[in-house]
Amino acid sequence: MSGSVLRRGRILALLVVALTLVAALVAGASPAGAKGGSGKGGGNGLPHPPEKEATAVGHGGAVTSLDPYATRAGLEVLQKGGNAVDAAVAASAMLGVTRPYDGSIGGGGFFLVYDAANDEVTSIDARETAPAATTPTVFREDGTEIPFAERRVSGLSQGVPGLVAGWELALEEYGTVPLHRLLQPARVVAERGFVVDAEYEERTRDNLEIFADFTSTRETFLVDGAAPAAGTVFRNPDLARTYKLISQGGADAFYEGEVAEAIVDTVQHPPVVAGAERKVRPGLMELDDLDEYEARWRDPTAVDYRDHTVFGMGPPSSGGTTVGEALNILEGYELSELPEADVLHLLIEAEALAFADRGEYLGDPDFVDVPVEGLLSQDFADERRELILEPFAATPKPLPAGDPDGAADDGVVLASAVAATGSTTHLTTTDRWGNIVALTFSIEQIGGSGIAVDGYGFLLNNELTDFATEPGLANSPDGGKRPRSSISPTIILGPDGEPFAAYGTPGGATIITTVTQVAVNLIDLDMDLPDAIAAPRLGNINGENTNFEATLPAATQEALKAYGHKLPTPAADPVGNVNGVQFLGDGGLLAAAEPTRFHGGSAAVVQPVPH
């Protein structure tokens, strides 16, 4: 199955839309007091939001995500007999309603799947693609780089969305519940409304200046020109209608017909408000770009770390290779026997080395030869480890790339790492049969391009800004090419070959450093998943400064500075937003999400036990 390409199926056309309401999601949901129309909210007769818990222990399956509505949607699928893939689709559709600025059908993502019956890990690449008309100099004008803010808020940044095709491909192979039933909970909440929380209000407010400059975005996501207030009800009937179209026609209803036409019109003619001073460039997407989009099976990456096997996402994501290389470098140290500062010092050094190689070699494997086997070989990691100084001291950064086996001698220029936070969302599901899905998807920045598809209720991504702006690099733009990603859904098998943990996170380039650190916390430092998630984070993407959270103890900061690391100021925002599941043996599950970062995440199990 891995490595093959499957055309979007035509098997879901003309499905009958089920009308059964999901009681737990809409308990008490009355439209009374909520203003009608897209993007309007109100303050009376509120729906009751699901309870949000960061940790859950039990059996029978689990769901974790950034949002309680999404976790509940996935959990109810499991309770009704669906599997982990079914639950992941339902939860991701709900996140498109209640967390639309992080990931939605306007973007793409990567699925990592553990098939328990076959004891096999597979992966789906639903990454966005550049329109066919894209050239290597698309982000340059008069020989100079277009400023990032202008690249982001433009049609040029909008890649062909892949999430819907990813849903369909995953369900064709593994699903047991029809797509229309999986989308129904999200449809109901989009139509009837959900209770806005502080995180939703803050993210809308942070994007207010951009959203207000586009008629479609203003009408869809603002209330009288302002962010909806926490505690009020917000409704998106346009997105409910779009989900209904997809329910009836499958992925074809998104990649062909009225939705596809509206996407192309938005890309080519961004709906800028009259009088707005923002310079907004049109994009290059055509209907054929949507019609020809394919979600693809890819080979996952795998490395042996200590006595565990760590699976990740292969190219065009750089997550699996970069996490895997860093862990292979760390393999040469007994981290469990070292003090905290030494562990973090080595983590910084291993990450910087792996990021140097990421910048040189990672790109879309359909366009460039990515030396995956060489990057993940222990021999290469041993060679790279020799650059770490003994006795311990920080190496000057940025570090040069290495020369793994299989690297093409094609004159590709080293691309230094660029700090990027981005906005993304992650969810993890597992079922009573032991199947697992780690799904990370995104529209890139918080709010994506900032441009909504008029009348259809979703924002378009700005994922093409993940390309380098210079031609001639492994990650330079090209027609039909997928930009390099940092997305790193991760599944770890234990010494017995059974599932040990599955997790992931948003965070741009810091996804990789966060996933690596959580793996070290779990395997080397013997933390349970909630503690591994809660621990203070830091990371280095081969830059002069190391990114760190203010919660990192002052004594640890001083010890790292004494080694020569530069930790100038803590990160303004938390680093990462992890959720996942740890497998306790005998069917026991420990589901965990962030306890406090970004107002905390949501974890639930089918059969909870006290903890």
- The C-alpha atoms of residue 512 and residue 321 are separated, in whole angstroms, by 10
Annotated active-site residue 424? The verdict is: yes
Q: Is the pLDDT of residue 1 over 80?
A: no
Please say whether the beta carbons of 154 and 34 come within 8 A: no
Which tokens sit at 187?
A: 């449809």
483-541 pLDDT, tens per residue?
A: 999 999 999 999 999 999 999 999 999 999 999 999 999 999 999 999 999 999 999 99
Q: What are phi and psi of 289, to 5 degrees?
A: -60, -40
CA dihedral 328, 331, 333, 338 (to 10 degrees): 100
pLDDT band at 255 (very low <50, low <70, confident <90, very high): very high
Q: Is the pLDDT of residue 18 over 70?
A: no
Average pLDDT of every residue of the chain: 91
533-574 pLDDT, tens per residue?
A: 999 999 999 999 999 999 999 999 999 999 999 999 999 999
- The C-alpha atoms of residue 246 and residue 277 are separated, in whole angstroms, by 36
Which tokens sit at 152?
A: 């982001």
- Averaged over 335-356, what is the pLDDT? 98
Q: Is the pLDDT of residue 107 over 90?
A: yes
- Kindly report whether the peptide bond that precedes residue 398 is cis, defined as omega within 30 degrees of 0: yes
Q: Is the pLDDT of residue 17 over 50?
A: no
| Total length of the chain | 611
pLDDT band at 610 (very low <50, low <70, confident <90, very high): confident
* Single pTM value for the model: 0.92
In Å, what is the CA distance from 199 to each residue of 50, 223, 431, 437?
15, 16, 29, 25
Say which DSSP state 272 is in. B
pLDDT band at 406 (very low <50, low <70, confident <90, very high): confident
**Residue 499 — left, alpha, or beta (φ > 0 → left; ψ -120 to 50 → alpha)?**
beta
pLDDT band at 422 (very low <50, low <70, confident <90, very high): low
209-247 pLDDT, tens per residue?
A: 999 999 999 999 999 999 999 999 999 999 999 999 999
- The C-alpha atoms of residue 431 and residue 502 are separated, in whole angstroms, by 13
Q: What are phi and psi of 283, to 5 degrees?
A: -100, -175
pLDDT band at 418 (very low <50, low <70, confident <90, very high): very low
- Kindly report whether the peptide bond that precedes residue 610 is cis, defined as omega within 30 degrees of 0: no
Segment holding 243, helix H or strand E? helix 237-249
pLDDT given for residue 360 in this prediction = 95
- Averaged over 92-109, what is the pLDDT? 97
Q: What are phi and psi of 538, to 5 degrees?
A: -150, 165
Q: Is the pLDDT of residue 16 over 50?
A: no
pLDDT given for residue 3 in this prediction = 29
- Using only the alpha carbons of the chain, give its radius of gyration: 23
- The C-alpha atoms of residue 26 and residue 288 are separated, in whole angstroms, by 39
Q: Is the pLDDT of residue 50 over 50?
A: yes
**How many angstroms separate the first and last alpha carbons of the chain?**
40
Please say whether the beta carbons of 533 and 594 come within 8 A: yes
168-216 pLDDT, tens per residue?
A: 999 999 999 999 999 999 999 999 999 999 999 999 999 999 999 999 9
The percent of residues in the chain predicted with pLDDT above 90, rounded, is 88
When mean pLDDT is compared across 41-50, 260-269, 539-548, the lowest value belongs to 41-50
The percent of residues in the chain predicted with pLDDT above 70, rounded, is 90
Catalytic, out of 322, 424, 425, 440: 424
pLDDT given for residue 48 in this prediction = 81
What contacts 177, CB < 8 A, 6 or more positions away?
Answer: 77, 80, 82, 86
Tell me the DSSP string of 74-128: HHHHHHTT--HHHHHHHHHHHHHHHSTTT--TTSEEEEEEEETTTTEEEEEEE--
- The C-alpha atoms of residue 35 and residue 154 are separated, in whole angstroms, by 31
Q: Is the pLDDT of residue 29 over 60?
A: no
Instruction: Report which of residues 80 and 611 the model is more confident about.
Output: 80
- The C-alpha atoms of residue 456 and residue 250 are separated, in whole angstroms, by 16
Would you list the domain boundaries of the chain?
23-53+81-109+123-296+446-462
pLDDT band at 423 (very low <50, low <70, confident <90, very high): confident
Q: Is the pLDDT of residue 83 over 50?
A: yes
